[in-house]
Amino acid sequence: MNSVQLNSCEFISHLQTDLFIKMQFMLLFSRQGKLRLQKWYVPLSDKEKKKITRELVQTVLARKPKMCSFLEWRDLKIVYKRYASLYFCCAIEDQDNELITLEIIHRYVELLDKYFGSVCELDIIFNFEKAYFILDEFLLGGEAQETSKKNVLKAIEQADLLQEDAKEAETPRSVLEEIGLT
Amino acid sequence: MPAVSKGDGMRGLAVFISDIRNCKSKEAEIKRINKELANIRSKFKGDKALDGYSKKKYVCKLLFIFLLGHDIDFGHMEAVNLLSSNKYTEKQIGYLFISVLVNSNSELIRLINNAIKNDLSSRNPTFMCLALHCIANVGSREMAEAFAGEIPRILVAGDTMDSVKQSAALCLLRLYKTSPDLVLMGEWTSRVVHLLNDQHMGVVTAAISLITCLSQKNPDEFKTCVSLAVSRLSRIVSSASTDLQDYTYYFVPAPWLSCKLLRLLQCYPPPEDGAVKGRLVECLETILNKAQEPPKSKKVQHSNAKNAILFEAISLIIHYDSEPNLLVRACNQLGQFLQHRETNLRYLALESMCTLASSEFSHEAVKTHIETVINALKTERDVSVRQRAADLLYAMCDRSNAKQIVAEMLSYLETADYSIREEMVLKVAILAEKYAVDYSWYVDTILNLIRIAGDYVSEEVWYRVIQIVINRDDVQGYAAKTVFEALQAPACHENMVKVGGYILGEFGNLIAGDPRSSPLVQFNLLHSKFHLCSVPTRALLLSAYIKFINLFPETKSTIQEVLRSDSQIRNSDVELQQRAVEYLKLSSIASTDVLATVLEEMPPFPERESSILAKLKKKKGPGAVSVNELEEGKREGGELNGGGDRGGDSSAIAASNASTPSPSADLLGLRTGPPVTAAAPSAGSLLVDVFSEAGVNDDGFLRDLEPPTESSDSLLAEGPGDSDSAPPSVVSEDPAPPLPESNELLNKFVCKNNGVLFENQLLQIGIKSEYRQNLGRMYLFYGNKTSVQFINVQAKPVEPLIEGGAQVQQVINIECLTDFTEAPLLNIKFRYGGALQNLSLKLPVTINKFFQPTEMASHDFFQRWKQLSQPQQEAQKIFKANNAMDTEVLKAKLLGLGMALLENVDPNPENFVCAGVIQTKAQQVGSLLRLEPNAQAQMYRLTVRSSKDTVSKRLCELLAEQF
């Protein structure tokens, strides 16, 4: 114990229970339990994330259709809603507002829908990066950043325009590349 | 294939995703992924420099693989390279990869920070937003160090684009959460507050989250936000649904912003300015009125958004708890929701009413809904809603409806979901005890509990019924008769046998006159259950048998025969065998007198708070139910039940604890530590070895008696309306003993100087204190919470009278002469109504208050550390974390302790080292401290070295309670 240098202990961050972070994380998963999108607003290890995901997916999938959209889970409140084959599921803190969170989910779905044009699960699978970009424009650090649908989509469309410009400037790619073999 | 391919699709990525989706088995998927990983690795390692597009595509593939749940251990560098691409699309993918995959202590963080810095200064708003999003997503300390100074400037600069401001506000919020010490608003404060007035609703929506967070931490500095928030809210609430254009959501104007405004106001007491308050009350009334208006749309989104605001407004009304009119209106509104067809609304109404039930203004109004709630408990199809209904019944229970509620909960228990049975059992047990008018009802209720849900009746519950029966003469005969009857059921729960065995062993004589329950009948009945029971219960029964020999000499030969039988005296279980041998011997050699002395009736248990409350609270987590205070004090009961002489000892200890607030009593009653061995879940860390060692020489004996799993929260404010319903465990006749919680209170103040020292229904004592060198000054504020006078106050120099609602201040000057361990006592006496109130509190003066921080370099620190190497100069404690191991909280606490927190001294950055000098009149005592958190084991090791051994020891004791 005398030598200070000897001991080290690894530090794992734990689920923080602070008052101001509204949302702890958001998960999108299918009826088959496949995770389609995950966004964590608190620092957690990959192991913990996987454990939480597994438990929650099971819990939510086990619930019947007419049940209420809120449930207590560990120290958190889970707010979830099903849209077609996808479950949107948010974890918020004890004092947080369940109904407004439910509408956060809905607004996000609206944003996806507007962007992809009647969105379906496949859109989110194949364009997962877009789903993340849209989410970041809407929610940042677990808090609503911009609730106007118009403004969020404007930001994303501007970014898409930038992409188009960039694409035109690129050199043509090989044939192999075009058919996706690399 | 994707239905839409917006922007620039990456074909290779789409093909890969399709391949994965077409995999028929997990093995095929893994094979495909490994192939892809090998391909990407070779591309990244290849000689040919990859163009930006390919790099982006491969990074994106890696990200996809990671999100599928596979580990990724390369590609980070390529992602970082993408950050400095001047093509937006590449940069964006780079940032996404970093946000998802880079953890805060990555070595790449410097490179990442560099790229972020470039983008932040690029003056290109899209690039700036990307960079800010990345900071907000990663939110590491390194990022805080690099950018906490820059972002406030971006936030308030006049030429910053609105979208950048929004990102900057939330980015800053995230950094503030990670590293509050690095985010200094200072000069920006007022400009940040004025963002509430910004024309752009999006900016307000984002900024208000930041302001709420900062207000909570520094309410005074942000006070001006209250009036701004009220006027903003008022404008939104009174606006027509079309005024706010795109911020109107399904005909509801700015629901998110409204909720955030109402939440911000909950950081403050009601506005003092009459005009502001009037305006706010008007807003709240408007919101309540709107709830009654016909909906503007049939869509559920409309009603959700509208009701989200309503519930947030109700939270604010409850938070203020000062407007009876609004409280009752809120209650009526919730009452309507109780029967709404939307399950979600019923759930929320039940939940919200729970808090209303604890307000004196609305308690009665809540009670009027009892039938609806009972009905919900019986008919709701969703278990989480039923759970809320049970919570609300519990919250609305008082003496007037206790019998009805307890009966309903009992009958519900028979069919209740397994997941909530244990909690229901605890609640029934608490209510039965709390509102018992006659104790035969209490005994009936608990025995019913055991009958209906025996498996869910925890030890605490049946210990408690025994404690109460033993302490109350009037119920003993009834209890004996009732358990005797209950035991006659052909199948009865083991818990019933335990209670039965104990009670008949003590009070079987009270029913022995009836030939139907003669001693032998009683004994045979008990013994008929013996072979069905577990070892601990059998042990208890053996003790009951020996008690029978004392109570009823005529049973002696029968019982001796049982004890003598091979199955007892040669039982393979050591405990049972020992009891059989000892009891047999005792019964044969001791004279009747000796026997009568040894096996005398149990003395009354010291009056303690119900441990069931503690159990319930632990289950629910803090704040969930409005239970009373609680203090753990149960183990003795358990030991006693263990029987024989061991029981006597521990009861003696318990008794001494109750009467003297000595340091050893703390160990039992208040200090909370896990049992010393086998607590660390994962071996392999160095800590564990030392740990068991420490357990031995530490106060092992007393600690063993501690309940193994106890949480430290022993004090909850007493809810209104509870005082008159004193359960037998609330001591009321003797007003003098120093509060058992006073050490707990003391601990609260080790790392801070201001706060509430004491609070009950009558009186609140607040403290402000300041210290310089060996001198201190303490201001005590006595607040009268009632509306009547306290007279004859004797806390010396105070005015002898405190008006209702008034506050009186007292100043105490303190000089530290030499180091000390016991805190000074403060005795307070006053009259309330006719009754003399007598309080004894420990003043929160602890040795650390006289610290002078000492800054020193790493080299000096270790040199001094070595100098203080005599064994008695060091004190060490290893203890379990009571709170989340949050670095920032730890730092704040260590700073609050008064020492200098030395950065970059300990080679392990997770550890904390501090240095300081304690100034007393007699001498100066240099102290060094080291705190090593072990997050895996949730333990800390604390080492203190000082030039004086008593100081090391005391500091260690004090600090061990803080984390």
Q: What percent of chain A has pLDDT above 90?
A: 59
Residue B580's φ and ψ, nearest 5 degrees, are -60, -45
In which band, very low, low, confident or very high, does the pLDDT at B821 lie, cut at 50, 70 and 90? Answer: confident
For residue B83, give the amino acid letter.
L
Of B21-30, B178-187, B340-349, B751-760, the one with minimum mean pLDDT is: B751-760
Please check the confidence at residue B817 and state whether its pLDDT lies above 90. Answer: no
Flag whether residue A11 sits within 8 Å of chain B, measured between CB atoms. yes
Q: Which residues pair with A88 in a beta bridge?
A: A28, A81
What gap in Å lies between CA B67 and CA B32, rounded to an integer? 15
CATH classification of the domain holding A133: 3.30.450.60
Tokens 């109780």, residue? Answer: B338
pLDDT for the residue numbered A32: 92
Whether A32 contacts A41, CB under 8 Å: no
Question: Which residue in chain B is spatially nearest to A168 when comparing CA positions?
Answer: B8
What gap in Å lies between CA B28 and CA B643, rounded to an integer? 63
Whether B209 contacts B169, CB under 8 Å: yes
Question: What is the C-alpha R_g of chain B?
Answer: 33
Taking each helix axis as running N to C, give the angle between helix B300-320 and helix B274-292, from 0 to 180 degrees, rounded to the nearest 10.
140
In which band, very low, low, confident or very high, does the pLDDT at B834 lie, cut at 50, 70 and 90? Answer: low
pLDDT for the residue numbered B653: 31
Q: Which residue has the higher pLDDT, A7 or B559?
A: B559
**Which tokens is B45 given?**
């390692």
pTM above 0.80, yes or no: no
Strand B900-902 and strand B912-919: the pairing is: antiparallel
The annotation status of B866 as a binding-site residue, yes or no, is no
What gap in Å lies between CA B154 and CA B143, rounded to an integer? 16
A145 falls within a domain: yes
- Per DSSP, helices labelled H in B194-338 are 201-217, 225-238, 255-265, 274-292, 300-320, 324-337
Q: What is the layout of strands, in order, in the sheet containing B755-759?
A: B755-759, B763-772, B775-784, B807-815
What gap in Å lies between CA B442 and CA B788, rounded to an integer? 35
Q: pLDDT tens digits, residue range B238-269?
A: 887 667 888 999 999 999 999 999 999 999 99
What gap in Å lies between CA B235 and CA B85, rounded to an integer? 45
Q: Which residues pair with A76 in a beta bridge?
A: A73
Please check the confidence at residue B104 and state whether its pLDDT lies above 60. Answer: no
- Answer yes or no: do A67 and B87 touch at CB < 8 A: no
The annotation status of B95 as a binding-site residue, yes or no, is no
- Answer yes or no: do B906 and A143 touch at CB < 8 A: no
What gap in Å lies between CA B843 and CA B823, rounded to an integer? 6
Which chain B residues are within 8 Å of A75, Cβ to Cβ? 621
CA atoms within 13 A on the CB side of A93: 18
Of A15-29, A56-70, A116-130, the one with minimum mean pLDDT is: A15-29
pLDDT for the residue numbered B789: 60
The structural domain count of chain A equals 1
Q: pLDDT tens digits, residue range B341-385?
A: 999 999 999 999 999 998 888 899 999 999 999 999 888 888 889
What gap in Å lies between CA B414 and CA A67, rounded to an integer? 22
Query: What Cα–Cα distance (Å) separates residue B460 from each residue in B429, B438, B611, B704?
Result: 10, 21, 6, 18
**Which tokens is B338 given?**
């109780």
**Which tokens is B440 given?**
């035969």
pLDDT for the residue numbered A55: 94
> Quick one: CA dihedral B218, B221, B226, B231, positive or negative?
negative
Q: pLDDT tens digits, residue range B136-177?
A: 998 888 889 999 989 999 998 888 899 999 999 999 999 998
> What is the interface size between A and B, counted as CB pairs within 8 Å?
273
- Answer yes or no: do A9 and B685 touch at CB < 8 A: yes
Of B312-316, B677-681, B798-802, the one with minimum mean pLDDT is: B677-681
What gap in Å lies between CA B484 and CA B496, rounded to an integer? 10
A35 falls within a domain: yes
Nearest CA-CA distance, residue A31 and chain B, Å: 16
The mean pLDDT value of chain A amounts to 80
Query: What Cα–Cα distance (Å) separates residue B491 from each residue in B448, B488, B495, B533?
Result: 14, 8, 12, 12
Query: What Cα–Cα distance (Å) separates residue B791 from each residue in A35, B788, B795, B805, B836?
Result: 66, 9, 12, 13, 9
Which chain B residues are within 8 Å of A145, Cβ to Cβ? 166-167, 170, 202, 205-206
- Answer yes or no: do B166 and A106 touch at CB < 8 A: no
Whether A149 contacts A106, CB under 8 Å: no
A47 falls within a domain: yes
Taking phi over 0 as left and psi of -120 to 50 as alpha, with beta for the rest, B49 belongs to beta
Please check the confidence at residue B696 and state whether its pLDDT lies above 60. Answer: no
Q: Which residue has the higher pLDDT, B451 or B837?
A: B451
Q: pLDDT tens digits, residue range B388-433?
A: 999 999 999 998 999 999 999 998 888 888 878 888 888 998 898 8
Mutate to test the interface with A, among B210, B344, B423 (most CBs of A within 10 A): B344
Mutate to test the interface with B, among A71, A100, A181 (most CBs of B within 10 A): A100
- Answer yes or no: do A103 and B307 touch at CB < 8 A: no
Task: Name the residue ranges covered by the structural domains of chain B.
Answer: 8-78+86-96, 738-842, 847-961
pLDDT for the residue numbered B805: 59
Flag whether residue A121 sits within 8 Å of chain B, measured between CB atoms. no
A8 falls within a domain: no
- Answer yes or no: do B1 and A129 touch at CB < 8 A: no
Which of B126, B263, B307 shows the shortest C-beta gap to A162? B126
Fold match between domain B738-842 and domain B847-961: no
pLDDT for the residue numbered B620: 56
The CATH number given to B738-842 is: 2.60.40.1230
Give the mean model confidence (pLDDT) for residues B57-74.
90
Beta strands in chain A (DSSP E): 23-30, 35-40, 70-73, 76-83, 86-92, 139-140, 143-144
Please check the confidence at residue B537 and state whether its pLDDT lies above 80. Answer: yes
How would DSSP label each residue in B693-705?
A: HHHHHSSHHHHHH
Q: How many CB atoms lie within 10 A of CB B496?
A: 21
**Which tokens is B353 given?**
């009413």
What gap in Å lies between CA B84 and CA B87, rounded to an integer? 9
Flag whether residue A174 sits within 8 Å of chain B, measured between CB atoms. no
Question: Which residue in chain B is spatially nearest to A150 when comparing CA positions?
Answer: B246
Question: What is the C-alpha R_g of chain A?
Answer: 20
Question: Which residue in chain A is spatially nearest to B866 when comparing CA positions?
Answer: A2
Please check the confidence at residue A173 and state whether its pLDDT lies above 70. Answer: no
Which of B69, B88, B906 shows the shortest C-beta gap to A163? B88
* B441-446, Cβ contacts within 8 angstroms, sequence gap of 24 or more: B441/B403, B442/B468, B442/B475, B443/B469, B443/B475, B443/B478, B443/B479, B443/B482, B444/B482, B445/B406, B445/B410, B446/B499
**Which tokens is A97 given?**
């507002």
pLDDT for the residue numbered B136: 92
Question: Which residue in chain A is spatially nearest to B380 when comparing CA positions?
Answer: A67
Q: What percent of chain B has pLDDT above 70?
A: 82
Q: pLDDT tens digits, residue range A92-115?
A: 988 889 999 999 999 999 999 999
Residue B474's φ and ψ, nearest 5 degrees, are -70, -15
Flag whether residue A177 sits within 8 Å of chain B, measured between CB atoms. yes
Q: Which fold has domain B847-961?
A: TATA-Binding Protein (3.30.310)
Contacts (Cβ under 8 Å, ≥6 apart) of B588: B560
pLDDT for the residue numbered B956: 84
- Answer yes or no: do B206 and A130 touch at CB < 8 A: no
Flag whether residue A120 sits within 8 Å of chain B, measured between CB atoms. yes
Flag whether residue A14 sits within 8 Å of chain B, measured between CB atoms. yes
3-state DSSP of B402-468:
HHHHHHHHHHHHCCCCHHHHHHHHHHHHHHHHHCCCCHHHHHHHHHHHHHHHHHHCCHHHHHHHHHH
What gap in Å lies between CA B493 and CA B360, rounded to an integer? 41
Q: pLDDT tens digits, residue range B903-951?
A: 878 778 888 888 888 888 888 888 888 888 888 888 888 888 888 888 8
Q: ipTM score here? A: 0.84
Flag whether residue A84 sits within 8 Å of chain B, measured between CB atoms. no
Domain limits for position A146 = 21-170
What gap in Å lies between CA B332 and CA B327, rounded to an integer? 9
Question: Which residue in chain B is spatially nearest to A100 when comparing CA positions?
Answer: B308
A77 falls within a domain: yes
pLDDT for the residue numbered A1: 38
Which chain A residues are within 8 Å of B8, Cβ to Cβ? 163-164, 166-167
Nearest CA-CA distance, residue B8 and chain A, Å: 6
What gap in Å lies between CA B519 and CA B497, rounded to an integer? 17
Strand A139-140 and strand A143-144: the pairing is: antiparallel
CA A17 from chain centre, in angstroms, equals 19
What gap in Å lies between CA B55 and CA B51, rounded to an integer? 6
A1 falls within a domain: no
Of A84-93, B157-166, B526-535, B671-680, the one with minimum mean pLDDT is: B671-680
